[in-house]
Amino acid sequence: MSHSTFANRLKEAMKLKDFKSSQIEKISQNLYNEGKIKRPIKMPVITDYLKGRYEAAQSNIYALALILDVNEVWLMGEDVPMDRSFGRTKVAEINLINLSTNEVIQKIPFSYRTDINEDNPQNFFAIYASDSSMAPLLDVGDIAIIKKYTKFLNGKTYLLKIKGGAPIIRKIIKSDDGKVELQAMNMWNFPTQYDFNFEDLEILGDVVKIENNSAFK
């Protein structure tokens, strides 16, 4: 972290938020009183930062980023978004769907990374497993998190339909001649199904998580 880059970023954030050094000092004192930061930041220290005289300690970087609502790494001069949520895990709600009726049963919490576009909660939904074909990892009544289908990757586990049938969860293995086999984990009760054409399948989504266990990642 260079003195000049940090100073410039601090100036930029203060200008954007229309904050003066006195306001930062006051807010930092309040945060310190609430036990949210290690120490308040006094005006002379802020002045030294703005003039590029020295770098801020990590605890003060955190405090300044919190006060100014910017990303700590951005404030340190790195080439990342200013958005404070960048790189953090957030929790949103996704739909738990009844696949028979396509109705939303309820909303469930879903954790995602804000800096990964594919982790957008809008790309995911959840279902209850209707059978034990993927037991012991996914048994009847367990919740599976499904990522909406975008592209096929051989050997992954998908929620799919065969020729418009009921939705099932299977691992798809596609051979060089284009033929497809569908594998369950519970092969004793759900034997592997062979000799499908890929066009026979309607892939609904990629199974990425089972409740709190990353079973298929």
List pLDDT tens digits, range 45-79.
999 999 999 888 889 999 999 999 999 989 999 88
Predicted TM-score (pTM) of this structure? 0.64
Helix H or strand E segment including 67: helix 58-68
Could you tell me where in the chain the CATH 2.10.109.10 domains are found? Answer: 89-210
Could you tell me where in the chain the CATH 1.10.260.40 domains are found? Answer: 3-75
Token pair listed for 105: 């049963």
pLDDT at position 3, please?
Answer: 58
Residues 71-124 have pLDDT tens digits of 998 999 988 889 888 877 888 999 999 988 989 999 999 988 877 778 899 999
Q: CA neighbours within 13 Å on the CB side: how many for 17?
A: 20
pLDDT at position 216, please?
Answer: 44
**Res 2 pLDDT > 60:** no
The answer to whether residues 181 and 192 touch, using CB atoms and an 8 Å cutoff, is yes
| CATH topology assigned to domain 3-75 | 434 Repressor (Amino-terminal Domain) (1.10.260)
Mean pLDDT of 164-172: 93
pLDDT at position 74, please?
Answer: 92
Phi-psi sector, 38: left (phi>0), alpha (psi -120 to 50), beta: alpha
Helix (H, G, I), strand (E, B) or coil at 205: strand
**Res 212 pLDDT > 50:** no
pLDDT at position 182, please?
Answer: 97
| CATH topology assigned to domain 89-210 | Umud Fragment, subunit A (2.10.109)
d(Cα 216, Cα 88) in Å, to the nearest integer? 23
Task: Give CA separation, 170 vs 5, 8, 128, 185, in Å.
Answer: 52, 54, 15, 8
